[in-house]
Amino acid sequence: MADQEQNTTSRDYHLEIPFRNQPFGLKGCNALDWGMQNRLSRIFSPQTGRTVMLAVDHGYFLGPTSGLERIDVNIVPLLPFADTLMCTRGVLRSTIPPTFGQGVVLRASGGPSILKELSNEEVALSMEDALRLNAAAVAVQVFVGGEFETKSIHNMTRLVDAGLRYGVPVLGVTAVGKELVRDAQYLRLATRICAELGAAYVKTYFCEEGFETVTASCPVPIVIAGGKKLPEEEALNMAHAAVQQGAAGVDMGRNIFQSQAPLAMIQAVRAVVHDHMKPKQAFEMFQDLAGISRKAPAKPRSTPKKVPAPRKG
Ligand code: R5P
């Protein structure tokens, strides 16, 4: 037992200092329970309020996607540079070292493969297993406008209810079928529905026009998906524009693991997201880290002068 006598005489109660309440800075998350906020702090850096999520969950409907054939070889070396890993429980248990200390966001919906109607998903993970795996959040696909729209939204609200019971945040992932246009009007609708129905944060796509209205009208943080592989400079431009227009980071997969130099790319993305590095500078950083020589900008070619045809006769 601690020595009671010593304790009573040596305590300083700082009676002159009012109790310090530290507000939780993440957008729209102030009223969440301590466990939720703690988990979100494993996703969003408490220093910058933003995140670089490395998304490697594509196999849940695509199988061994290019770049993810060997997660142990291609992805594990990238982990030190990810604030958060987004993956399935199968990959987590089989391949990710349990010493990984950052947040893990577990894919919690699934069912149809790429060969079938994708919006026909079910909940594919129990909250008990998410807790067993020490997940920082669970992610569920929401198909606003899709064939199974209501079912996918119901998947999300069931997970939100279970998550609230145990303090596990839910990431609503807005999935856009081929037939829908990814413009600001659609993205505002889809992200707002996720937030209104209880997602702690939302993943969506970037759009060139009006993305700031998508982040402004969503009361919780938005992260952008990387989408299909782009040239590295374009992907860095997109991440920069998204963060400048209010995104709280990226949940990026193919534009990192399908890059010609994934280790260099994830570090350049970090610089854009956390340090507000300009995309041009970040691209140079990528080239330097990748050992790619920076080419001098090509000089505009002078148009060859037309040589008049020799006169006949
Ligand atoms: C879909 O396969 C997953 O939700 C991905 O995590 C998401 O699309 C992000 O990955 P990417 O940046 O490759 O689009």
DSSP conformational letter for 86: E
Choose the catalytic residue: 27, 178, 203, 280: 203
| Section 237-253 average pLDDT | 98
103 torsion bin: left (phi>0), alpha (psi -120 to 50), beta (else): beta
Q: Which pLDDT band holds residue 313 (cuts at 50, 70, 90)?
A: very low
The amino acid occupying position 217 is S
Q: Which atom of ligand 1 lies nearest, measured to the CA of 252?
A: 12
**Would the CB of 256 count as within 6 Å of ligand 1?**
no
What is the whole-number distance in angstroms between the Cα of residue 1 and the centre of ligand 1? 54
pTM for this one? Answer: 0.90
What is the whole-number distance in angstroms between the Cα of residue 58 and the centre of ligand 1? 6
Asked if pLDDT for residue 8 goes beyond 70, the answer is: no
The first and second tokens of residue 258, run together, are 């399908």
| Averaged confidence pLDDT in the chain | 92
CB 226 within 8 A of CB 252: yes
Asked if pLDDT for residue 287 goes beyond 50, the answer is: yes
| Section 88-113 average pLDDT | 96
**Would the CB of 83 count as within 6 Å of ligand 1?**
no
Asked if pLDDT for residue 6 goes beyond 90, the answer is: no
203 carries an active-site annotation: yes
The secondary structure element, H or E, covering residue 149 is helix 149-166
